[in-house]
């Protein structure tokens, strides 16, 4: 029994004596950095030599001892990681030996990882801000509809407004513009507003500016279509005049 306890204590001591720390960000983002699985494994071995063996510039031969790769393959993988600007070779002054040596610098790797982490953080933060801002605009839109209708919206109307915002992904500004037009024309009901929105959807209109440009286009088209009729009428009158005065 004592012997088993001794082996267990020895095994525990051996495991705890040489612990290797692998940054969580490296595990999360190595693929996004463009590292292959094998390159990642080489990096882990480089970290092992730095942290456990206290060696800052292990040779490919030393690294390959603990891998299923030969030294040439390890050398090529290290070169690939350096080409990806995730590892660098820099001079290092060894105080014990009193001379300069080469060392693998992980600074480029840590810099890229921090940039990725901060980028993800800022993206999540911006999404949260945008979601909150959208919710605020939709709340204001709801209150504007109730004000123009002069009454609380019914459950069906509330669902319709929600569907426009979420299912159809109509911009709040465009919904406000449709409501404004309905009020100006004195047709304040959801069916009429829906017809305006559907017309805009058919023409792929997503902003108020595009809606106004579309109005101008329709107006110009109508104006052009009426001009030939007046010209034709004028020509007919001239023909009648010539008929009345054949000798002129």
Question: What CATH number does residue 168 fall under?
Answer: 1.10.10.630
First to last CA, the chain: 137
* 45 found inside a domain: yes
* 171 found inside a domain: yes
Cα separation, 51 vs 47, whole angstroms: 6
pLDDT at site 241: 44
* 151 found inside a domain: yes
Please indicate, yes or no, whether residues 37 and 78 belong to a single structural domain of this protein.
yes
* Integer-rounded Cα radius of gyration of the chain: 38
Quote the Cα angle for 204-146-179, to 5°.
Answer: 25
Cα separation, 138 vs 144, whole angstroms: 10
**42 by DSSP, 3-state: which?**
helix
Q: Is the predicted pLDDT of residue 129 greater than 90, yes or no?
A: no
* 248 found inside a domain: no
Print the domain residue range for 56.
19-105
| Residue 42, token pair as written in the block | 């080489």
pTM of the model: 0.49
Residue 84: CB atoms within 10 Å: 15
Please indicate, yes or no, whether residues 100 and 137 belong to a single structural domain of this protein.
no
* 72 found inside a domain: yes
* 143 found inside a domain: yes
Task: Tell me the per-residue pLDDT of 172-225, one tens digit each, with 9 for 90 and over.
Answer: 899 999 999 999 999 999 999 999 999 999 988 989 999 999 888 888 877 776
Residue 179: CB atoms within 10 Å: 21
Count of structural domains, the chain: 2
| Cα 126 to Cα 32, 123, 170, distances in angstroms | 21, 5, 20
| Dihedral sign, Cα of residue 172, residue 175, residue 179, residue 181 | positive
Task: Tell me the per-residue pLDDT of 22-74, one tens digit each, with 9 for 90 and over.
Answer: 999 999 999 999 999 999 999 999 999 999 998 999 999 999 999 999 999 99
* 120 found inside a domain: no
5 compared with 246, residue with greater pLDDT: 5
Q: Which of 155-164, 220-229, 234-243 has the lowest mean pLDDT?
A: 234-243
* 111 found inside a domain: no
Mean pLDDT of the chain: 84
pLDDT at site 219: 83
Please indicate, yes or no, whether residues 78 and 143 belong to a single structural domain of this protein.
no
């Amino acid at each position: 029994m004592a012997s088993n306890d001794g082996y267990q204590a020895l095994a525990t001591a051996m495991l705890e004596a040489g612990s290797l720390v692998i940054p969580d960000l490296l595990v999360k983002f190595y693929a996004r950095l463009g590292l292959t699985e094998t390159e990642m494994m080489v990096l882990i071995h480089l970290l092992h030599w730095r942290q456990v063996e206290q060696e800052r510039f292990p040779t490919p031969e030393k690294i390959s001892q603990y891998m299923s790769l030969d030294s040439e393959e390890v050398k090529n993988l290290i070169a690939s990681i350096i080409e990806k600007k995730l590892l660098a070779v820099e001079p290092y002054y060894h105080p014990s030996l009193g001379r300069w040596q080469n060392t693998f610098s992980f600074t480029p790797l840590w810099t890229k990882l921090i940039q990725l982490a901060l980028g993800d953080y800022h993206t999540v933060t911006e999404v949260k801000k945008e979601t909150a801002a959208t919710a605020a605009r939709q709340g204001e839109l709801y209150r504007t509809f109730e004000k123009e209708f002069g009454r609380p919206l019914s459950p069906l109307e509330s669902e319709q407004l929600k569907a426009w915002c979420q299912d159809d992904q109509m911009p709040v500004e465009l919904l406000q513009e449709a409501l404004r037009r309905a009020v100006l024309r004195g047709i304040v009901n959801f069916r009429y507003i829906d017809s305006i929105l559907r017309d805009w959807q058919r023409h792929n209109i997503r902003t108020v500016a595009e809606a106004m440009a579309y109005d101008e286009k329709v107006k110009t088209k109508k104006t052009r279509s009426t001009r030939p009729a007046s010209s034709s009428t004028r020509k007919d009158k001239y023909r009648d005049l010539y008929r009345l005065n054949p000798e002129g």
